[in-house]
Amino acid sequence: MSEAASLYRRHRPRTFGQVVGQEHVVRTLRNAVEQDKVHHAYLFVGSRGTGKTSMAKILAACLNCQQGPTTDPDGTCDSCVAIANATSLDVIEMDAASNNSVDDIRDLREKVAFAPVSGRAKVYILDEAHMLSPQAWNAFLKTLEEPPPHTIFVLATTEAAKVLPTVVDRCHRFDFTRPAVDQLATVLRRVAAEEQITIAPEAVALLARHATGSFRDALGTLEQLVTYADAPPASGDDHGAAPGNGATISTDDVLAVLGVADADLLFGALDAVAQRDARAALMATAQLIRSGRDASAFLRDLEAHARDLMVVQTLGEVPPEVALTADRDRRLAEQAGRVGRGDVVRLLDLLAVALGAIADGADGRTRLELALVEAAAPELDPATRALAARVEQLEARLAGAGPAVREVPRMEAPDGDPVSGASPSASPSAGETPPPQTAEPPASLDLPALRDAWPAVLDSLRAEKGFLASCVEKAALVELEQGVLTAAFQADDDFIRRKCEQEPARAAVAEAVQEVTGARVRMAYELREPDQLPDGGPAAPEPPSEEDVLARLKQELGATEIVPDHPEQERP
């Protein structure tokens, strides 16, 4: 092969023994060659760069090697060399993305009829097979099912769902898995040794992670780094060796070329979140920007780091697919034990929102700063104030301070008209299911704390029961005692009060309170005069104008306003 060929082409595996991973494919094909049971059609499915075409060429070499058929082609005979150099007349590679018409398939059918030129079998490798049109597939089905003797088809695709079921049925299918990080690192180290490239272990680990399961991407980036590291100095002295021979690649080179954040920035950002230090989180962003790296890329790197922390916290160890270097793995395990699991999960949620906003056109730096500040300052969210109290309650219980909640008997209200002030938590009427016994809220969740969390309760309720939330938001919280949370409406809202008091509605509000605050309460409702409500009660909404009503009708019903022909006619 020419010296100008890329690293990936020069270092393709040429035998089954050189393949890294894909053991199930190697074993089956090896046995098929040894037992002379090679099928006439194979479907190789897998993401790009996982070795589908390389495996097809190895199969072709096994069948056409002058020493074969053999599972270990010598790689030196004319047939093996021609296959490696893509010049063999018996191994035909086609790109279905650009040869996907019926005419292309008809031309292929005519060529299939000819016998092999010098080998034992003609092997057709059809890449991106899912790109063939349905008409082209229909023209190809008969040939695929009953090809001429000594003809083998290998269809490779990244999207098996787009291949017609009638085609899949005629093939033996193999699914190629993404190589693990350690497998990618093995290939990178082997290629670097053969090419006399000196590369730091941490740089290899970064390359392997960045390749996201693609051998081709990993070796392509390595080749790019060789060119970067071999660049002559500004003075003009040519101190570098020829590309791929004697090059030295450092971790800083990888960070510069890939644009990824170094470990210190990632660990520092997570520490800032864990320490509730929003200033340090912003400083980490500023340091990142000064280094010239992209904020959106840092968001993805931070998401990957937080995900690694979550995995380590869940498993209690650093698994092989997360491991990079001994030093980084040690720091990851140490940080996983120091940072709260809730902080990590909340940060992942915030990063997902930020990445979605960036995809919609938002500024990357702003979304990064917002995500880090919200993660480091959870008190900015009304819902998390109650969550913090819930965590304090749990910590107190774990510290042996005794249970923060206790069971209390169900409260029975005296008989009376609930509108006149009797508690609406009275005994249920016939046919109603008595409410379950509930627990008194923890002492840290008093009435002011619940009022702080009330907007988040309404938001939670609104997600499932919008009408009920619009009714409940007209009430004000007035009392919390013995596990009963009382909300009061103004005196003229008796109809709404009765709707909220119905058991399904009352239970839904209590569930929303528990979801946000962790407190198990029973809801009670009453009527009060405005001067008896906190701050006069919720502000009454302004009545909608005629224009507002018309606009709402147009929006909700798809209505169109009919303008009268004569201005003196009144609008109905």
CATH code of 517's domain: 3.30.300.180
Cis omega before residue 69 (within 30°)? yes
- pLDDT on residue 282: 86
- pLDDT on residue 166: 87
**Helix ranges restricted to H, 214-294:** 215-229, 251-258, 263-274, 278-290
CB contact at 8 A, 96 and 127: yes
Q: Are residues 24 and 159 in the same domain?
A: yes
Q: Are residues 213 and 227 in the same domain?
A: yes
Residue whose token pair is 């059609």: 41
- pLDDT on residue 523: 92
Closest CA to 529 of 419, 382, 403: 419
Q: Are residues 17 and 166 in the same domain?
A: yes
Buried b (16+ CB within 10 A) or exposed e, 494-532: eebbeebbeeebbebbbbbbbebbbbbbbbbbbbbeeee
Backbone phi and psi for residue 339, each to the nearest 5 degrees, phi listed first: -90, 140
- pLDDT on residue 486: 92
- pLDDT on residue 433: 40
Q: Is residue 351 one of the residues assigned to a domain?
A: yes
SS3 call for 407: strand
- pLDDT on residue 319: 86
- pLDDT on residue 544: 58
Its pTM stands at 0.58
Q: Is residue 81 one of the residues assigned to a domain?
A: yes
In 146-187, beta strands by DSSP E: 151-157, 172-175
CATH number at residue 134: 3.40.50.300
Q: Is residue 552 one of the residues assigned to a domain?
A: no
Q: Give the tokens for residue 552.
A: 């709402």
Q: Give the tokens for residue 328.
A: 């980084």
Residue 153: strand pairing partners? 41, 124
Q: Are residues 34 and 159 in the same domain?
A: yes
Q: Which residues of the chain have pLDDT under 50?
A: 1-3, 232-243, 401-440, 442-443, 539-540, 570-572
- pLDDT on residue 488: 92
User: How many structural domains comprise the chain?
Assistant: 4
Q: Are residues 14 and 145 in the same domain?
A: yes
329-344 pLDDT, tens digit per residue, is: 888 999 998 888 888 8
If you count DSSP H runs as helices and E runs as strands, how many of each does the chain have, helices first?
23, 10
Of 135, 154, 175, the last residue of a domain is 175
- Report the distance separating Cα 48 and Cα 158, nearest Å: 7
Q: Taking each helix axis from N to C terminus, what angle separates 341-359 and 263-274, rounded to the nearest 10 degrees?
A: 120
- pLDDT on residue 525: 92
Q: Are residues 66 and 132 in the same domain?
A: yes
CATH number at residue 297: 1.20.272.10
Q: Is residue 482 one of the residues assigned to a domain?
A: yes
Q: Give the tokens for residue 309.
A: 């922390």
- pLDDT on residue 448: 84
Q: Are residues 214 and 191 in the same domain?
A: yes
Q: Are residues 442 and 486 in the same domain?
A: yes
Q: Is residue 407 one of the residues assigned to a domain?
A: no
Q: Are residues 223 and 267 in the same domain?
A: no
CB contact at 8 A, 305 and 266: yes
- Report the distance separating Cα 254 and Cα 348, nearest Å: 25
Q: Is residue 507 one of the residues assigned to a domain?
A: yes
DSSP letters along 362-393, please? Answer: --HHHHHHHHHHHHH-GGGSHHHHHHHHHHHH
CB contact at 8 A, 20 and 179: yes
Q: Are residues 248 and 300 in the same domain?
A: no
List the domain range (segments joined by +) for residue 324: 263-380
Q: Are residues 250 and 282 in the same domain?
A: no
Residue whose token pair is 């997902």: 352
Q: Is residue 394 one of the residues assigned to a domain?
A: no
Direct distance between the N- and C-terminal alpha carbons of the chain, in angstroms, rounded to an integer:
85
Of 136, 152, 175, the last residue of a domain is 175
Q: Residue 268 carries which side chain, given as an amino acid letter?
A: G
CA distances from residue 188 to 136, 176, 222, 240, 327 in whole angstroms, order as listed: 40, 20, 8, 21, 20
Q: Are residues 12 and 113 in the same domain?
A: yes
Backbone phi and psi for residue 174, each to the nearest 5 degrees, phi listed first: -130, 130
Of 258, 292, 309, the last residue of a domain is 258
10 Å CB burial of residue 246 (0-12, 13-18, 19+) is: middle
Tell me how many degrees the CA angle 342-346-348 measures, rounded to the nearest 5: 120
Q: Is residue 343 one of the residues assigned to a domain?
A: yes
